[in-house]
Amino acid sequence: MSGQDRIKQAPPTAPTLLTVLRRAHIGMALGGVAIVGISLVVPAAIALHIAARHDLHLAARAMSYTAEAAVVFKDGGAAHDALVSIAAEADVAEADVYDRDGHVLASWHSQSNTPLARISALAASLLGETAETVQVLHEGEVVGEIRLRGSGQTLFGFLLAGLAGIAACQVLLVLGALTLSRRILAHIATPLEALADIADMVRRQRRSGHRLPAAHIAELNELGETFNALFDELDTWQASARHEHARLAHKANHDSLTGLPNRHFFEESLARALREADQAGHSVAVLFMDSDGFKQINDTFGHAAGDTVLVNIAARIANQVREGDLVVRLGGDEFAVLLTPVADIADVHRIAEALAETVRKPMTLAGGEHITTSLSIGMAMYPAQAQDAASLLQIADAAMYCVKRSRGGGRNPAPIDQVFTNRAVK
C-alpha cells in the first residue's frame, strides 16, 4: 500500500475488513446457536431425567406386584422371571429383589456391552445415576423390596441427538455467514478496497485518472462520489501546477522580449553539446553576434524602436539556422548561435555570412521608417580551437570584438540624419 503510508499504515498482521466481518458473522452465528441449543437441550435433559426416574419408579412398582408371590414364598426363580419380564423392556441396567431379611432373592443385569451402552453408563454416572427402591407388600406388610438402576441410554441418546442438531445448525449457519460475508465483500469491502488502491496510486504515482465506480450502498456511493470530485479537483490543480511550472521554467530560460533562450539556457546547452560531441566525435561551433549601430537607433528613435530591431534580428537569425541549432539572446544587442554538429570551419563561415546577409535587409519601424543594421560576428570551433566551454566562448567573444573594432566600433561615419534620410544604417 514513506511519508505517512496509508495514514500511518496498519501493521502487516492487521486483519482485513472482510476477515473481521467474516469472523464477526461466524462468531455471532455459532454463539447464537450454542446459546439457543443449550437453552433448549439443558431443560429438556432435566425434564427427561425426571421422566426417566418416574418411568423407573413405575417399572419398580410393576416388578413389586409381579414378584410379590415369589418374595412371599422365597422363590428365586420366579422372582428372576418377574425381573426379566419387565427390566428387559425398560431402561434398566440392574434389578435386584430382596426378601424381608435383606437377602438377595434374585438379580438381573443388562447383557448389552456395546460401546453405546458403556458410554451411556459412564454418562449416567457423571450425570448422576438414576436409582429407585420400592417395597414389596403382601396384605399391607413389607415382605421385601425391589432395587433398580437406570441405564441412562435414553437420556444419553437425547443428549447426543441434541448436540448433533446443534452441530448441524452451526454448520449451516457458518455456511450462511460465509455467503453473507461474500455479499458484504461485494457491497462494502470491494468499494473500500478500490478506494484504498486508487488513493495509494494517486499518492505514490501521482496518477488521478481512475475513478471509483458506483456502490450499492448509499453511504459508500456518496463517499466514492466525494473522492471522485476530490480527484477531479486534484487533476485540475495538477494541470494548473504543470502549466505554471512550464511557464516559470520558460521564463527562467528565455528572454521576455524576443522569446529566445537566455544566457543560462545557452550555457547548459553548450555543456551538454560538448559532452555529446566528445561521445560522437563531431565538432561544435559557437557564433557570437553584436548588432552594429544599435545605440544610435535607440538614441534616435527611442527604446521601442530598439526593441523592434532586436525582435526582427532574433526572428531573422532563428529562421536562418538549421533545425537542430540553438539561437539565444545573451543580453542587450548580443546574440549567440550554437551550431552542432558541424563538419569544418567553411560550413561555419557560410552560416555566418547567411546570417549577416539576412540581418542587412531593411526593417520597418512603427513610425514607417526603414532602416538597416548589420552584425559583427565572431566564431570558434570545438575541439579544433578550444578544449572546454569557457575557452570556446572566450575565443568567439574575442573574435566578435575583433570584427567590431575592424569596422570602427560598428559606428557609421556618416551623419545620423543623412543615414536615415537614405533609409540605411551601415
pTM to 2 decimal places: 0.49
Q: What is the pLDDT of residue 425?
A: 29
Q: What is the DSSP letter of 187?
A: I
Percent of the chain at pLDDT > 90 equals 27
Q: Mean pLDDT check: name the lowest of 54-68, 101-115, 153-167.
A: 153-167
Whose CA is closest to 93, among 21, 134, 152? 152
120-127: long-range contacts at Cβ-Cβ below 8 A with a sequence spacing of 24 or more?
120/151, 120/152, 120/153, 120/156, 120/157, 121/93, 121/151, 121/152, 123/152, 123/155, 123/156, 123/159, 124/93, 124/150, 124/151, 124/152, 124/155, 124/156, 127/49, 127/152, 127/155
Mean pLDDT over 58-81 rounds to 80
Handedness of CA 54, 55, 57, 58 (dihedral sign): positive
Catalytic residues, which ones? 333
Percent of the chain at pLDDT > 70 equals 77
Report the alpha-carbon distance of residue 157 to residue 317 in Å, rounded: 108
Mean pLDDT over 210-222 rounds to 74
Task: Quickly state the pLDDT bin for 381 (edges 50, 70, 90).
Answer: very high
Whole-number average pLDDT of the chain: 78
Q: How far is CA 266 from the centre of its chain?
A: 44
Q: What is the pLDDT of residue 426?
A: 28
